[in-house]
Structure 1
């Protein structure tokens, strides 16, 4: 089947003319549809000429060409084998700004200077194609013409050969100025959008409903460590782990259902490192399809500040252990668990013996060093679940979950011995401590436990200091 047969309608009359002139996938180009219509028009001309030739049994179709050319809305230019213009229809006059008598007989280079000099000149291919009695057409292309006033014309061109046209080629041209302007505007908008997207302080991404990244900025590649090719194959949820992945999945569904969502999650980088991000996303519609457009901001600095503020609010600045406010919260939590589940709980109160004398004799700086070392020594005897806190001044608390009175007494004794045996940066070299111990009794609450522990500490001091006293035998007030 030759090119002309491909342009002819099917017996049922349902196939469009001209589709055989275009390479596969070419309609996806910016001007494919306009050129397709040009191909269809040229196909119609060539098909009509072929049918007229068959009906008349004659090879003299020059008059037919001119008659049809005048009625075609597109610019038609007939060119001979020598590259000279032989026909010029009214549409061509309007396109190029010449009257037919001004250009007929002139070289085609007057209208298409660049095209006429091109190495892949389709005129030669069309006119040298086998079967001079058959129509032939070359695929559409884009060329630059010259108007009568000298300005360039962006044109779409389809070249064909009519059957029996004595070596004449037919050029069908259409003006692409408006389309080129629109394409240039789209390119400018695209470049501007790329500049904006890549100038964002965070990561940007566009995700379809299937879960594929369709667009992103350079920041996403730089931050995540994934290349463009890797991101094309990556599902967004693969950038998260554990509970964060579930939260992100819900946020994606929420965005497509309600139009927007926001959340915080740790972005898992290609290296395996995690980085905290604040994500916000919106549902957008492009070409009738729904997408998720999102942006993520690195909140590592904010997270660090929050953690530092939390540390300052809950930690004793001198010793680094929990402060009184934090300890009271921990005590309330553990008392609640002891009441609810009937689990053992004990409290130890420590007072550094004669600490005022240390301060008065060696100064507050030495006193601070003593407190820091007492805390360090005590910490070596504690379990991970135990909570050590500064209660105030030289007094400290140890909260011991899952520990009864006997176990708490033994723990306090180990701490007492360690403190006594340690060497301190003061002339005396030794420091001791007094301890009060109480096990929680159901129903007494935090205040009751604190009161009995304080009474036990007072008892240890009254009995000579540097010892552990228990409050287990006392009645609940």
Structure 2
């Protein structure tokens, strides 16, 4: 009996020694399983939140494993490039979607092979639904302990619309600048002859006077008027009169040398600014212009005209208005002396 009791005790002890560790192991397994399940739920929720965040932000993930040459895309990345959910970025698909952009991407990644900081790259993509697109990526290298680059991780977004908006803004800016330049040109141009108008001519004369006095150079001015112009309008009409004015403007322009300016300052009145020209050269320029108008209109399909020209040199007391007035007085002196001649200002 005593032996039998001891045997039962030993059996119970053996059972306890076996079962208790097993129960403890089962409990630990249960806790670990529960923790793993909770972790998987938490991870799944985090992945879902990440996918939602990518969708809302319009960015996708692109990972390149350099060892296996495998590409991995997130769902939003697939949406950005225009392929169906779950489609894998195979080499064939990448070549199809990136006929030009793939080489751009490879060259750019190669140039950043040692970068330890994030870097930005751009490349072209052919979206099956939207056509050619420009993608921008913020990329970062992942290195092994040996220092070799193992992966490239990229966060990608489509910046095509941004580029189009920028291009549109640039085009609008350029258009506005061209329109402003054209408006400025029109404000300073005589619409009939294309020469400078009175406003532009007087501003140019102001500048020429300042330059002449600063550099100690002479400055000559011609003022000319078409003789008997009213009779041309009365006889042939204003359209023919306009043709005469245009032809005289062309002749005056052809007589110019570099740095000189011809302008129409009134109905049939013109002026010519001659920087750095001596009094003798100014008188010679006036006479050549008179002869050119007489000969040039004789050979043109318009009534032949002549011109009276007054010329003046810049004096120390002159302003632009006073210099112009002196040349204009000389012009009317030429008219009083019989027209088709040149007169020098006093």
TM-score, normalised to structure 2, is: 0.59
How big is each residue's C-alpha offset from its partner over 1:22-65, in whole Å with a ceiling of 9 and x where there is no partner? xxxxxxxxxxxxxxxxxxxxxxxxxxxxxxxxxxxxxxx97775
Q: Which residue of 2 aligns with 1:191?
A: 58
CA offset at residue 304 of structure 1? 2.0
Q: 2:26 aligns with which of 63, 66, 87?
A: 66
> Is 1:312 matched with 2:256?
no
Q: Which residue of 1 aligns with 2:244?
A: 370
Q: Which residue of 1 aligns with 2:307?
A: 433
TM-aligned CA distance change 1:315 to 1:215, over 3 Å:
farther
Q: Which residue of 1 aligns with 2:205?
A: 331
TM-aligned CA distance change 1:313 to 1:191, over 3 Å:
same
> Is 1:390 matched with 2:334?
no
Q: Which residue of 2 aligns with 1:381?
A: 255
Q: 1:178 aligns with which of 45, 55, 64?
A: 45
Work out the CA distance in 2 between the residues paired with 1:315 and 1:62. Answer: 104
RMSD: 3.5
5 Å-filtered alignment, 1:202-221, equals 214=120
Where do 5+ consecutive residues of structure 2 fail to align? 1-20, 61-75, 77-117, 125-132, 139-164
How big is each residue's C-alpha offset from its partner over 1:272-311, in whole Å with a ceiling of 9 and x where there is no partner? xxxxxx99xxxxxxxxxxxxxx995321221221122112
SS in 2 for 1:458: helix
Q: Which residue of 2 aligns with 1:357?
A: 231
Q: 1:399 aligns with which of 273, 281, 289?
A: 273
> Is 1:91 matched with 2:39?
no
Work out the CA distance in 2 between the residues paired with 1:69 and 1:347. Answer: 108
5 Å-filtered alignment, 1:220-299, equals 297-298=170-171, 299=173
SS in 2 for 1:447: helix
Q: Which residue of 2 aligns with 1:322?
A: 196
CA offset at residue 447 of structure 1? 2.6
TM-aligned CA distance change 1:338 to 1:378, over 3 Å:
same
TM-aligned CA distance change 1:178 to 1:303, over 3 Å:
same
How big is each residue's C-alpha offset from its partner over 1:147-176, in whole Å with a ceiling of 9 and x where there is no partner? xxxxxxxxx8xxxxxxxxxxxxxxxx4542
Q: Which residue of 2 aligns with 1:271?
A: none
Work out the CA distance in 1 between the residues paired with 2:119 and 2:325. Answer: 62
Work out the CA distance in 1 between the residues paired with 2:56 and 2:213. Answer: 67
Work out the CA distance in 2 between the residues paired with 1:67 and 1:369. Answer: 110
Query: For the Cα contact (< 8 Å) 1:460–1:468, is it kept in 2?
Result: yes
Query: For the Cα contact (< 8 Å) 2:225–2:268, is it kept in 1?
Result: yes
Query: For the Cα contact (< 8 Å) 2:220–2:282, is it kept in 1?
Result: yes
Q: Which residue of 2 aligns with 1:81?
A: none
Work out the CA distance in 2 between the residues paired with 1:397 and 1:333. Answer: 15
Where do 5+ consecutive residues of structure 1 fail to align? 1-60, 77-89, 96-155, 157-172, 195-211, 219-226, 233-277, 280-293
Q: 2:282 aligns with which of 408, 417, 421?
A: 408
CA offset at residue 392 of structure 1? 0.5
Query: For the Cα contact (< 8 Å) 1:424–1:431, is it kept in 2?
Result: no
Work out the CA distance in 2 between the residues paired with 1:213 and 1:417. Answer: 72
CA offset at residue 448 of structure 1? 2.4
Q: Which residue of 1 aligns with 2:300?
A: 424
How big is each residue's C-alpha offset from its partner over 1:50-109, in whole Å with a ceiling of 9 and x where there is no partner? xxxxxxxxxxx977753543444xxx3xxxxxxxxxxxxx335x65xxxxxxxxxxxxxx
